[in-house]
Amino acid sequence: DSASFALVVFYKRVAFFPVGLDLQLLPLADESKPQASKILLSVALRHISGGGLIEVINTHFGMEEEEKRKSVEFLSGYLSQRRGEFLCAGDFNFFDDRDGKLHRDVMLQKGGVDDLAYPLSNASGTFMGYRHDAFHQPFESMSRLDHIFAPYSVTKVGEGYVFGDMERVKDRTYSSDHLMIVANVQF
C-alpha cells in the first residue's frame, strides 16, 4: 500500500568532489502519514580544477494538490535563500489539468528562479504514463512534470530537450513513465 522513491545526484568524479549534503523533509498534506514524506536532497559539489561551488538539488513532490502547494512554498523559500550557483531538478507533479501552472508560477516568482527546461524543443511535456495507467495523455499534450530550476545568473546553452526514443514514447513502450530533460548550462 505504499511506494518507495529514491533520489540521487550523479556527478563526474574527474571534475567534481562532494563537500556537503543536506536532506530536508517536504511538508505533507496529511500529517498522520509520516511514512509518505518526500525529501529534498541537496549535494554541494566543488569543481576540482576551477574551485567553483555548485549545489545540485533533487526532489520528487507528492500527488495531492495541498501537499504540492505546501512543498512549493517550502522549496521556493529554500531556493530564495541559496547564496551561489545551484540547479534544482525533479518530478514536481505539476499537472496541466490541475494547479500545475499556478505551482510553477510560485516557484518562478517566490523562488527567484528560471525554468531551464521550458519550453522543450521536441515534446510538449515529460509525463506520458504507461498503457495500464488510469491517467495518461496523448503525446501531443503531455503534462510538464519535470523541471530544472536555476537562478537567473545561470545561462542555458542551447534549448532544453527531452531525451528518449519518441517512437517508444508514442506507443507507450518507453522504459519509464517520464522522459528525461537535458539542458546544457553555463555558470
Phi, psi of 148 (to 5 degrees): -130, 105
H/E run at residue 69: helix 65-80
Hey, what's the cell of 74? 517550502
List Cβ neighbours of 4 (8 Å cut-off, separation of 6 or more): none
What pLDDT is recorded for position 1? 47
Q: What is the distance of C-alpha 30 from the center of its chain?
A: 22
The pTM of this model reads 0.86
The C-alpha atoms of residue 145 and residue 135 are separated, in whole angstroms, by 14
Cβ distance 2 to 35 under 8 Å?
A: yes
Hey, what's the cell of 179? 522522459
| Residues in the chain, pLDDT under 50 | 1
What pLDDT is recorded for position 110? 94
Hey, what's the cell of 140? 501531443
